[in-house]
Structure 1
Amino acid sequence: MPPSPDPEQRLARIGWRAQALPSDVDEVGSVARVVAQHRAGYQLHDGVELYNAQPAARFLKRDLDPTERPAVGDFVLVAPGKPPTIERVLPRRTELKRGAAGESHQRQLIATNIDTVFVLSGLDGDLNPARLERYLLLVQGSGAAPVLVLTKADRSDAVDAIVAELEQRIVGVEIHAVNAKSPDSIAPLLVHLGPGHTAVLVGSSGAGKSTLTNTLLGETRQATAAVREHDSRGRHTTTHRALILLPSGGCLIDTPGMRELKLTGEEQLDLGQFSDIDELAQACRFGDCAHGSEPGCAVQAALADGRLDPQRWRNYLKLRDELAATADTLEAQMRKKGEARVLTKALGKRLNEKYGRH
């Protein structure tokens, strides 16, 4: 790892946005970014070269919160050695996470220090507005901006109609319909991939994440595969998260397709794409309105006159109940461990009090 005459300029190539390096960087070692994690350790990039490193012993403790371990996108302080050792994870600007698959009720980091989340969905049968709303709910608390990317636009005859429908349902989110194989088609995405910027790709297997990555790179580096005809889903051609430096100057994190997309329990339904439903609920005649047959229910009035999409309302209820259950479980686990702090962002209980449970 040869030293760089200008560390901050070197790190800027891999998305460094901090004002200054840590004060003890010279005493401990150097700063690098996690670009991949494997069973055998981590792969880091210091702005000049790629190299392997091992985590310090404290990161391997079984009872350590998984979100405290190094993750793809992290900037870390690395001590020299054979191999180099990750000594510390530097403060994160943003964190995109989900509930871990299975029944563990833990949080899993998808990527850190990102500016944009590209949520990909194919226009060849994979499009699911309710699933997109779930992705956006997860992105909402990350600190990064969501962008919906509808791939395989060359295979659909109803692109304009689909985009118009989504714009009605998902308000205030940038939407692009693209052919991921065409550099001209994906050009509008480059505004999010300039020097110093980092974006992450998320979406189902077969949505075109690897294809888009290859086009942005200008070369075939990520493996791609055909999707199944009956459901437009593909197998996992990307097997692990990886941060890639792009010719545009930005960084891109490609991720495997997600079969399960669980909430963390920290999401806030009364913000983001569901804020209008919260406003409707606040306008009900009775504060404890369950939005059923109560007189003066603003939600039912909006459903009746077409201002509120019934499918969107049903998905809201599903997400609300899931969020409340997840938040309750996490709080119970924390109490069991004797922790005094409260999940300040977990709004499940308050949502139940405000809207009732269906």
Structure 2
Amino acid sequence: MLNHQFLTSLGWNPFFQQQLSLHEWEHYLPARVTQQHKNSLKVETSEGEINLPIMPSMPAITVGDWLLIDTQSAFLRLLERQNCFKRKAAGVQSAEQLIAANIDTAFIVCSLNHDFNLNRIERYLSLIHETQAEAVVVLTKKDCVDEYTGQLEQVRQLAPNINVVAINGLKPDCIDLLSPWVRTGKTIVMLGSSGSGKSTLSNQLLKQPIQQTAGIREQDSKGRHITTSRSLFLLPDGGLLIDTPGMRELQLFDCENGVSATFADITELALLCRFSDCQHQQEPGCAVKKAIDSGELEARRLKSYQKLHREQQHNHADLAEKRAKDKQLTQFYAKTQRDARKNKRG
């Protein structure tokens, strides 16, 4: 008999339950991916932890996914995701990289030192809004600065009712500020660049030093990659945490709705422009430029919006072209195999 209470603590909910037939529920095991390695997956089930070999026939899987396996620990299928965080793979190749799946809340971890960057926060917000997960901006290392109320206010200006907290990740009481989002069965993903304090914060939430930490370079507050793989942890106070490696590059694609939601103030102003295709440069009757001139809108914010909008369109086109080529290649291979079988029979 499956331990439904334990599955619930792993994030199991009616969305996944309704994907199983009665036969599947009675004879197979739901399993959540907790670690992903080159050749295997570590999954957690109501009957314990299992190492699952990655086979060529399996779909792309990431940490946080729910799978269905049989009693012999063989993969059956991947369950439909509630959401999935993904980016364009780093480098020049046209490929997507899955970050984490089935997320309730995303912590955008950004330090209050020299690495504080509003443009980067907007980039992460666009990714999160696309998935419809809840976003929380966690400003770390408040003990390293004399004053941070100005930075708090800058983040609050990015969106109405945005969740933002400032913490000292070295003190255990910092988790009290994050407790509203740490709940049984709810999954949190930690996003941020190297040196932002993600691993330190993870250790506080886990109440033990599981993740290795390191200092930053004094001259520019840049950090080093400490977390090198994605892992899902059960938190002692309830809830689940996915820590991710620091990302110096987060290229967006398939994020048109996320970018629009992050910059809702600009998209709403654009509706008032005289021309529907206004580029918000020097066109007459541009409501966006008027807002910048009056001080209602920051010029920085418009530049950030235009950069992310161009980037997501470009990357989306590149990946769509690659998918089309891959589909044609798959169809060609399938036709070649069919023809070979026909010739063999003939």
* TM-score, normalization by structure 2: 0.88
Code of the residue aligned with 1:113 in structure 2: it is: N
Q: Please show how residues 205-216 of structure 1 align to structure 2 within 5 Å.
A: 205-216=194-205
Distance 1:323 1:287 in 2: 20
Please name the residue that 2:3 is paired with. 7
Residue pair 1:270, 1:278 contacting (<8 A) in 2 also: no
Matches within 5 A, 1:174-185: 174-185=163-174
1:268 aligns with 2:257: yes
> Could you tell me which amino acid in structure 2 is paired with residue 79 of structure 1?
D
In structure 2, relative to structure 1, the CA distance for the partners of 1:159 and 1:47 (3 Å cut) is farther
Q: Is the 8 A contact 2:141 2:167 kept in 1?
A: yes
- Answering whether residue 102 of structure 2 is matched by residue 113 of structure 1, we say yes
SS at structure 2 position matched to 1:51: strand
CA distance in 2, matches of 1:175, 1:39: 36
SS at the partner of 1:315?
A: helix
> Map of 1:1-358 to 2, 5 A cutoff?
5-18=1-14, 20=17, 22-23=20-21, 24-25=23-24, 29-47=28-46, 49-59=48-58, 68-81=59-72, 84-268=73-257, 271-337=260-326
| Matching residue's letter, 1:13 | S
Distance 2:141 2:14 in 1: 37
Q: For the structure 1 residues 206 and 243, does the alpha-carbon distance in structure 2 shift closer, same or farther, using more than 3 Å as the test?
A: same
Greater alpha carbon shift after TM alignment, 39-48 vs 211-220: 39-48
The question of whether the paired residues in 2 share the 8 Å contact of 1:33 and 1:75 is answered with yes
Check conservation: 1:55, 1:85, Cα contact below 8 A: no
Deviates most, 289-298 or 209-218: 289-298
Provide the aligned length of Structure 1 versus Structure 2. Answer: 325
Q: Give, in whole Å, the separation in 2 of the partners of 1:216 and 1:150.
A: 16
Unaligned runs of 5+ in 1: 60-67, 340-358
Structure 1 residues 314 and 188: alpha-carbon distance in aligned structure 2, compared to 1, 3 A threshold: same
Greater per-residue helix proportion = 2
Deviations 1:312-333 (A, max 9, x none): 1111111111122122223333
Cα distance in 1 between the residues matched to 2:260 and 2:296 = 18
Bigger mean CA deviation after superposition, 205-214 or 48-57: 48-57
Deviations, residues 287-314 of structure 1 (Å, cap 9, x unaligned): 2323222222111111101111011111
Q: Give yes or no for contact 1:118–1:149 (8 Å, CA) kept in 2.
A: yes
1:12 corresponds to which letter in structure 2? Answer: T
- Contact preservation (8 Å) 1:201, 1:209: yes
> Which segments of 5 or more consecutive residues in structure 2 lack a partner in the other structure?
329-346
Displacement, 1:48? 5.4
Instruction: Verify the 8 A CA contact 1:10 1:48 in the aligned structure 2.
Output: no
Maintained 8 Å contact 1:56/1:87: no
**TM-score, L = length of structure 1:** 0.85
Q: CA deviation at 1:56?
A: 4.3
Query: What SS class does the counterpart of residue 44 from structure 1 fall into?
Result: strand
- The CA RMSD measured in Å over matched residues stands at 1.9
Contact residue 56 and residue 86 of structure 1 kept, 8 A: no
The percentage of aligned residue pairs carrying the same residue is 40
Distance in 1, matches of 2:185 and 2:259, equals 32
Question: CA separation in 1, counterparts of 2:234 and 2:323?
Answer: 39
Q: CA deviation at 1:54?
A: 1.5
Distance 2:216 2:75 in 1: 39
Matched with 1:62 is none
